[in-house]
Amino acid sequence: MEPINDFFSFLSSLLWGWPMVILLLGTHVFLTFRLGIPQRKLLTGIRLSVRKDPGAKGDVSQFGALATALAATIGTGNIVGVATAVALGGPGAVLWCWLTGIFGMSTKYAEGLLAVKYRVKGSDGHTYGGPMYALERGLNMKWLAILFAIFTALASFGIGCTVQANSIALLASETFAIPTWVVGLFICILTASVILGGVKAIARVCTVFVPFMAALYVIGCIVILIMNSSYVWPAIELIVQSAFNPSAAGGGFVGATVMMAARYGIARGLFSNESGMGSAPIVAAAAQTRNPVRQALVSSTGTFWDTVVICALTGLVLVSSILAYPDISYSDGAALTKVAFSKIPYVGAPLLTFGILTFAFSTILGWSYYGECAVNYIEARRTNRFYRILYIVALFFGSIISLDIIWNIADCMNALMTIPNLVALILLSGVAARETRKYLWGNRLDEEMEE
């Protein structure tokens, strides 16, 4: 197994190297200006996300679709991933991560728009969409659509299923001394009770679960920032300065470079919010919305909450904690996060544990729907129940086995998903721009979409 693991480790580092980072960030910037800077309508998107659209076509509410997408994207990357970026790239990585989120909102906007524009109603009465439908119906590239669906299905068993179950099982075992097989069984039962009900059941759970878990984590971050209040502004200054002059960070960060800060900050930001990966538009297509732009605006808020808010708060907590407690070792991202949260008396460590557990479980729910839709696209919607059962079984095995090779394979599948999705986004950017001019800049958000 070692040679296979080494191969996928090499392939992962190759796929997620500078070419992919530049391609993704370049797409973010291109779409930002191609679409007229849709980030300006953030408040409109937030307002639409909490309002129902009576009579609109779709399976779940706009907020339900957003919550399900956030369930998949708000994960351990928001906590440990940001800490790793700081440890490897220095405090400046936080700024690059934040900027990635700002520009990434336009990509998430375009993904949501195209998902609704090219969605279809299946023979089972449900609504389906995503990059595979945009590639097939918008570009007549069925072969590339099938490849995207295959990569998505494989990724769902990796990053969305087994690795998340493994993270939960190991954390529960280390913290509460619960056998991993017991944790695995519990995860299976809990997941089955939700995903066997389909997208509507997943969305119902996520609309309650996601805001609660995110709010609790944000409150924890705010408490730490209050405790570190005298170091917050110096932390902001350090983040900005070291993004362009790493030596300003001093200490163990002197070895960092501008390229390292940018690379790790951008890469962690991209991996956290999944803008450009093509996953979130799969559920965006199921939203009850009267036209593509309304859901596009709602989808773009997902990147805002995930990266611009949660990742930025995490970064600020970590850097201010380093300044407040110089004895903290920041060479290990996970250890840095634990030390920062442990400074909250009594509840800090349990809060971090709860955050990681719930973030991982929410990712399991969101990715189960992505994988199911991908399999349905390939198999013409004949394998729903089989896929769900297989997904639940994979959760159990993910809880009890070592997953180094699965992590590397999952990273490769995520990168391979991204490439076909970027093809659709770039080649259909004219369609996205036309719809945006019509509905958004033409002040026609309340109009029904033309069939």
Amino acid at site 200 = K
CA gap 287, 313 in Å, rounded? 29
> Structural domains in the chain?
2-440 (1.10.4160)
Question: What confidence tier does 1 reach under pLDDT thresholds 50, 70, 90?
Answer: low
The first and second tokens of residue 45, run together, are 């998107």
Predicted model pTM: 0.90
More confident: 405 or 69: 69
Report how far apart the first and last C-alpha atoms of the chain are (Å, whole number).
52
Residues whose CB falls within 8 Å of the CB of residue 402, separated by 6 or more in sequence, listed in order: none
The predicted-structure confidence for 90-130, as pLDDT tens digits, reads as follows 888 889 889 989 999 999 999 999 999 999 987 777 888 99
Dist. CA 128–CA 28, nearest whole Å: 25
Structural Rg of the chain based on CA atoms: 21
pLDDT digits over 161-178, tens only? 888 888 888 878 877 888
Average pLDDT of the chain is 85
Q: How far apart are CA 170 and CA 178, in angstroms?
A: 9
pLDDT digits (tens, 9 = 90+) for 393-431: 999 988 887 666 777 777 788 888 999 999 999 999 999
